[in-house]
Amino acid sequence: MDKTNHKAWSVQGKYVIITGATSGIGLAAARELAARGAHLGIVARSQAKGNETAEQLRALTGGNTNVEVFLADLSDQRSIRRLASEILARCPRIDMLINNAGAMFVKRILTKDGMEKTWAVNHLAPFLLTTLLLDRIKMSGEARIITTSSHGHKMAKKGIAFDDLTAKKRYSFLQALMGGANFRYGETKLANILFTTELARLLEGTGVVANCLDPGLVATNFNQDNGMLARMTMAVMKRFSQTPEKGAETLVWLADSNEISGESGRYYVDMKEAIPAAPARSQEAARKLWEVSERQTRNSGIGE
């Protein structure tokens, strides 16, 4: 996009859809965006948690924040399709989509769609939700799509194992002993970057930009449902972690900064463009991932 042609950007008055907004950096980002005057649509797994978050955001701004709650199980493609339908029915415009929700599962779990669950939540969910909302996003003229990746993408040193998309090898006995779940998580975070790269290419000339970020090591509730060992590991890591508010800074900056208007297909760390690992810079892998993701999401829930 030609940066000389864009209007001055501000999140004030913009309609922002954000996943993973009920805790961690998503909640911290939602608070800051609400304070800056954004109209928020938050995606939550439970009605109670979604309502609690919405009330918190409204209270933060003295009741001046427009907050809508949408429910979805991001591991279930039918649920994502219902979510997209509801968003399209209730939102005449979408100025920004923030794909922030993420998870890691130490055991191999297959979803209702037959997908490995870490892959389903971290990659297929943002891919499917984005593509379902894309026409509405384009209607806004100048819009932004932001996806939360991670430094963890560097664990996938050999790239994405396209011959093992359900991660049987990652969760084999030997691989499990060597931290296979961590490497699987790394593949999904690599997928976030490759998805952003190809999305940006496909959006050239539309006015919509797509970027991703590494929020750094953040003290959140991430990885708390994977057993005692996972909780103990995260407890140790929290001693070296930054606050959710600090972790959300780059996300908020990408959402509200005027200086990055027109920039697309980039990876950011600490509010600066950074160079991701070599596998994340492969245009061929980005295009292949897009094709694979289309196949993995094409038939789920169609006609519902």
For 143-152, how does the pLDDT look when each residue is reduced to its tens digit (9 = 90+)?
A: 999 999 999 9
Task: Report the b/e string of 280-303 with b at 16+ CB within 10 A.
Answer: bebeebbebbbebbeebbeebbee
Q: How many Å apart are CA 85 and CA 100, to the nearest integer?
A: 20
Residues 15, 171, 185, 268: which is the catalytic one?
A: 185
Closest CA to 117 of 194, 170, 51, 70: 170
For 22-79, write each residue's pLDDT tens digit.
Answer: 999 999 999 999 999 999 999 999 999 999 999 999 998 887 779 999 999 999 999 9
Give the domain 12-215+251-294 fold. Answer: Rossmann fold (3.40.50)
Residues 6+ apart with CB under 8 A from 233: 223
The model's pTM is: 0.89
| 239 pLDDT above the threshold of 60 | no
Q: How many Å apart are CA 243 and CA 258, to the nearest integer?
A: 25
| 233 pLDDT above the threshold of 80 | no
Gyration radius (Cα) of the chain, Å: 18
Give the mean pLDDT of the chain. 89
Residues 6+ apart with CB under 8 A from 92: none
For 163-178, write each residue's pLDDT tens digit.
Answer: 999 999 888 745 555 4
In percent, how much of the chain has pLDDT > 70? 86
Residue 15 annotated in active site: no
Dihedral sign from CA coordinates of 21, 147, 154, 264: negative
Domain boundaries, the chain: 12-215+251-294
Between 73 and 140, name the one with better pLDDT: 73
